[in-house]
């Protein structure tokens, strides 16, 4: 089967696309990659929520799929909105890598050791809120760009420390650069963080069958719960929001978080259950009862 993958041009996006290409090629398919520049790649001088949110990294690739110019998209799942364009859907989830966040400092200090007034770079409101809650004495500054760009700006002295997804560092062979890997109790990950998702046309059943071979069932259950929580709150990158599910003895343990950007209020909750979709929506309901609705409307 001939499969055309649409991918962004960053090193991480290329790694992910090439990883999927290699796995599908091993299964006997003829797979090529087309590089597509997205709005999120082009516009780096504004906050992500001002250029279309996380969907800014998908828009042009999804348009190419709908136009039958490419057949398959390979995404970092944390960048994928819960609402997809009509005619497209997520057809597989690869086994999840480390979902945690990596703290990387210029001088090797851990988060708790950073001096007051230290400048930390992140573009994520989720990370910003949790950092401000834990260390309100730090200065948080916006940091856009791919992994290489962010690490270069750190080493160039623009920041004292930055936060990146551990999965991305690992996939690029740069895991050793992490000063500290933050546990979920300190920094709850984004929904879907560490997982790679495949997106295709709903009508392309042959491709769906091919992609299904790569699906990892436990990862699928966990990220469905996390994305159900996200959908239940109607949240996106405009709201500091985290969710992380783990499978334990056949059940799922889901933790969720909604916060103010400045970290002055952090609402958390957790639930266990076996129905991934219901679990996420129930936990979203719990946080709405605690007052999350006010934070979401702000």
Distance CA 106, CA 154 (A): 7
Residues 6+ apart with CB under 8 A from 164: 101, 102, 104, 147, 150, 151, 178
Distance CA 28, CA 230 (A): 37
Distance CA 39, CA 96 (A): 26
C-alpha distances (whole Å) from 80 to each of 93, 182, 199 are: 12, 23, 10
The residues assigned a catalytic role are 79
Return the closest-CA partner of residue 98 out of 183, 179, 208, 18: 183
Give kind and range of the element (H or E) at residue 166: helix 166-171
As given in the structure block, the two tokens for residue 22 are 């290699």
Distance CA 282, CA 231 (A): 11
Three-state DSSP state, 16: helix
For 210-216, which contacts have Cβ atoms below 8 Å and span 24 or more sequence positions? 210/1, 210/3, 210/24, 210/27, 210/29, 211/72, 211/91, 211/92, 212/91, 212/92, 213/27, 214/20, 214/23, 214/24, 214/92, 214/94, 215/92, 215/93, 215/94, 216/93, 216/94, 216/95, 216/96
């Amino acid at each position: 089967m001939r499969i055309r993958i649409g991918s962004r041009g960053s090193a991480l996006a290329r790694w992910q696309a090439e990883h999927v290409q290699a796995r599908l090629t091993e299964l006997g398919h003829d797979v090529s990659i087309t590089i597509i520049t997205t709005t999120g790649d082009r516009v780096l001088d504004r906050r992500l929520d001002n250029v279309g949110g996380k969907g800014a990294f998908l828009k042009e690739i999804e348009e190419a799929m709908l136009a039958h110019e490419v057949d398959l998209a390979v995404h970092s799942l944390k960048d994928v909105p819960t609402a997809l364009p009509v005619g497209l859907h997520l057809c597989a989830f690869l086994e999840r890598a480390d979902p945690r966040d990596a703290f990387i400092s210029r001088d090797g200090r851990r988060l708790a050791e950073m001096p007051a007034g230290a400048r930390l770079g992140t573009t994520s409101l989720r990370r910003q809120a949790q950092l401000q809650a834990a260390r309100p004495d730090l200065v948080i500054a916006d940091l856009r760009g791919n992994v290489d760009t962010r690490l270069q700006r750190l080493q160039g002295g623009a920041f004292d420390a930055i936060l990146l997804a551990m999965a991305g560092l690992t996939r690029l062979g740069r895991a050793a650069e992490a000063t500290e890997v933050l546990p979920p109790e300190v920094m709850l990950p984004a929904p879907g963080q560490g997982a790679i998702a495949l997106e295709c046309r709903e009508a392309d059943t042959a491709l769906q069958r091919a992609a299904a071979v790569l699906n990892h069932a436990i990862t699928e259950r966990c990220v469905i719960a996390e994305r159900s929580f996200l959908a239940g709150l109607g949240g996106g990158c405009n709201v500091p929001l985290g969710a992380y599910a783990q499978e334990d003895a056949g059940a799922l343990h889901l933790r969720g978080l909604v916060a103010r950007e400045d970290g002055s209020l952090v609402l958390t909750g957790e639930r266990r259950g076996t129905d991934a979709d219901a679990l996420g929506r129930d936990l979203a309901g719990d946080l709405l009862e605690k007052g999350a609705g006010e934070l979401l409307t702000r």
